[in-house]
Chain A
């Protein structure tokens, strides 16, 4: 009896996000909440972009993970007050950014869209952000912010002529030039090369170490792994999971996987796979089989010797759902 594995945890209640242990743990660990969402819903006509999302976030990096069109940018726009929620409310530092002028100066936003004032140089653009945030030494602040993102303040080229990566860094410099407590960064790593990404992630971690609250959206799981441990997973406008990145990763590994095996002996191989409990289900096709398994490692170790044993020719073995979309689908279906 003692060798039996522990029973699986009960499924989360219907409609609730999968709790990966963050909402309570990180909240208490990082002091008072800096951003709170209470049942936020946003509809555009018949389309529900964000649906009944609630969370509390303190200082540090929180990654908002979700596929394109999941509602991440809409959620960010609501947080910053750029668009009002259809239902529910958001508080940033206890206030509503849409109504409260002063709290807007405590938020730094790097929006997803590429648009900048293209006729300005980087220094002029960031200095404008400093001035419109009421900084006392705008030029010095702008130079420091550009230096922080490793752009030259003395480059007189207009930002309209900048590469995508440089524009991303200009946006980031403008977002942080006034030293805001809340930084909202919408897909900030898009368009950056690997070296720039690494450097940018170092910057985010540095800012998080200064008790800033960083909200960083991404649709790339590996990016999120490097951003820190706190994630909110948004899928189809809903909060699908919230918590620790590593718990999310574990859950992904534990979920059923679908594997396609191309072979000249689909019936014999399929029957053997079921008989040896390498898969929960098998679909036999003309030129192969599709397997559903929760133990990819065991299947991977066993399938080749099994094929040899059955004198079956194994032509290909490929996962059908090893992408982020399938993870989001799985999380949504679990709700």
Chain B
């Protein structure tokens, strides 16, 4: 006879299962290639003699490649799949029809996505920061912004995976159109894009103005994503509770 499963136990179980499900060789290799791309560009910055301000160039490269592509795409691939794949292939029933509360399932899935996405973003970006040779300040700023970015993007894309089929396609559209383009048109829109916060952390820590993104303090750039995470996880819980399971 079964008993209810405590929330910490549920989180642990879901996390352990989904980490194994998410870590496929194809995904890891494809996403590592993104990180390597950043490393190659960082190396070219270091080797270039003609740059007026290598620090600014490095920060801009991390802004464009690291925080507009690497962080959101790695988070999308894992977080969108964490519950989204289960929803689409029909295995969600094995998490849903259990004497477990819904929120630990959501938190466990989020932590699984974060656990897998963090090493695949922070390590390549950290190494790339070191490759630029512009100082350890860029390393610290990159790591902090990458951690914040992975945490918040993962929460948002986890929700997306529960809401929409083919979340990867929708997510890439969101990253390229909203995060990549629209949010560049002004600081007001910038605040409505998650990229604005990772960018602000980078800009503040490096004391470089990136089109007005130093307007947000580092603490704001951490607190707002934290709120977004909580709201996204709450919505995911409500969604999991109310959705129809195939």
Chain B neighbourhood of A114, CB < 8 A? 90
Chain B neighbourhood of A80, CB < 8 A? 97
Q: Does A225 contact B (CB under 8 A)?
A: no
Within 8 A of A (CB), among B138-167: none
Q: Does B27 contact A (CB under 8 A)?
A: no
Specify the chain A residue showing the minimal Cβ separation from B88: A115
Q: Does A174 contact B (CB under 8 A)?
A: yes
Give A45-89 as 1s and 0s: 1 = Cβ < 8 Å from B's Cβ atoms.
000000000000000000000000000000001001111100000
Chain A neighbourhood of B93, CB < 8 A? 82, 109, 111
Contact B17 A134 (CB under 8 A): no
Would A117 and B17 be within 8 Å (CB), given that A82-B245, A106-B2, A134-B2 are in contact? yes
Within 8 A of B (CB), among A140-176: 174
Q: Does B5 contact A (CB under 8 A)?
A: yes
Within 8 A of B (CB), among A114-149: 114-117, 119-120, 128-129, 131-136
Question: Residue B97 contacts which of A82, A134, A136 (CB distance < 8 angstroms)?
Answer: A82
Specify the chain A residue showing the minimal Cβ separation from B89: A115
Would A113 and B97 be within 8 Å (CB), given that A132-B5, A178-B1 are in contact? no
Q: Does A213 contact B (CB under 8 A)?
A: no
Contact B98 A105 (CB under 8 A): yes
Q: Does A101 contact B (CB under 8 A)?
A: yes
In Å, the complex CA distance between A178 and B5 comes to: 13
In Å, the complex CA distance between A82 and B93 comes to: 8
Q: Which of A102, A111, A174 has the largest count of B CB atoms less than 10 A from its CB?
A: A111
Within 8 A of A (CB), among B1-46: 1-5, 9-10, 13, 17, 20-21
Q: Does B246 contact A (CB under 8 A)?
A: yes
Q: How far is the CB of A255 from chain B (nearest CB, A)?
A: 36
Contact A132 B91 (CB under 8 A): no
Chain B neighbourhood of A174, CB < 8 A? 94
Question: Residue A82 contacts which of B2, B13, B91, B96 (CB distance < 8 angstroms)?
Answer: B96
Chain B neighbourhood of A116, CB < 8 A? 91
In Å, the complex CA distance between A128 and B97 comes to: 13
Would A131 and B13 be within 8 Å (CB), given that A82-B96, A120-B20 are in contact? yes
Specify the chain B residue showing the minimal Cβ separation from A42: B244
Contact A178 B2 (CB under 8 A): yes
Chain B neighbourhood of A273, CB < 8 A? none
Chain A neighbourhood of B60, CB < 8 A? none
Question: Residue A132 contacts which of B89, B90, B98, B244 (CB distance < 8 angstroms)?
Answer: B98
In Å, the complex CA distance between A54 and B154 comes to: 44
Would A135 and B2 be within 8 Å (CB), given that A80-B97, A102-B99, A129-B94 are in contact? yes
Contact B100 A128 (CB under 8 A): no
Q: How far is the CB of A89 from chain B (nearest CB, A)?
A: 16
Q: Does B101 contact A (CB under 8 A)?
A: yes
Contact A133 B2 (CB under 8 A): yes
For chain B, which range describes its interface: under 10, 10 to 19, 20 to 34, or 35 or more residues? Answer: 20 to 34
Chain B neighbourhood of A135, CB < 8 A? 2-3
Contact A132 B10 (CB under 8 A): yes
Question: Residue A128 contacts which of B4, B9, B17, B244 (CB distance < 8 angstroms)?
Answer: B17
Q: How far is the CB of A158 from chain B (nearest CB, A)?
A: 10
Specify the chain A residue showing the minimal Cβ separation from B1: A179
Q: Does B229 contact A (CB under 8 A)?
A: no
Chain B neighbourhood of A119, CB < 8 A? 20-21
Chain A neighbourhood of B98, CB < 8 A? 104-105, 132-133
Q: How far is the CB of B88 from chain A (nearest CB, A)?
A: 9
Chain B neighbourhood of A179, CB < 8 A? 1-2
Chain A neighbourhood of B245, CB < 8 A? 77, 82-83
Within 8 A of A (CB), among B117-133: none
Chain B neighbourhood of A133, CB < 8 A? 2-3, 5, 98-99
Chain A neighbourhood of B90, CB < 8 A? 111, 113-115
Contact B1 A132 (CB under 8 A): no
Q: Does B95 contact A (CB under 8 A)?
A: yes
Specify the chain A residue showing the minimal Cβ separation from B20: A119
Specify the chain A residue showing the minimal Cβ separation from B18: A117
Contact A105 B2 (CB under 8 A): yes
Chain A neighbourhood of B94, CB < 8 A? 117, 128-129, 132, 174
Specify the chain B residue showing the minimal Cβ separation from A131: B13
Q: How far is the CB of A160 from chain B (nearest CB, A)?
A: 11
In Å, the complex CA distance between A77 and B4 comes to: 21
Within 8 A of B (CB), among A177-192: 178-180
Q: Which of B93, B95, B101 has the largest count of A CB atoms less than 10 A from its CB?
A: B93
Contact B99 A134 (CB under 8 A): yes
Contact A104 B91 (CB under 8 A): no
Q: Does A107 contact B (CB under 8 A)?
A: yes
Contact B95 A105 (CB under 8 A): no
Specify the chain B residue showing the minimal Cβ separation from A132: B98
Listed A/B pairs (7) with beta-carbon separation below 8 Å: A83-B245, A101-B4, A105-B98, A106-B1, A114-B90, A115-B91, A136-B3
For the complex with contacts A84-B244, A133-B5, 14 further pairs of A-B residues with Cβ separation under 8 Å are: A77-B246, A82-B93, A82-B96, A102-B99, A106-B2, A114-B90, A120-B20, A132-B5, A132-B98, A132-B100, A133-B3, A134-B99, A174-B94, A178-B1
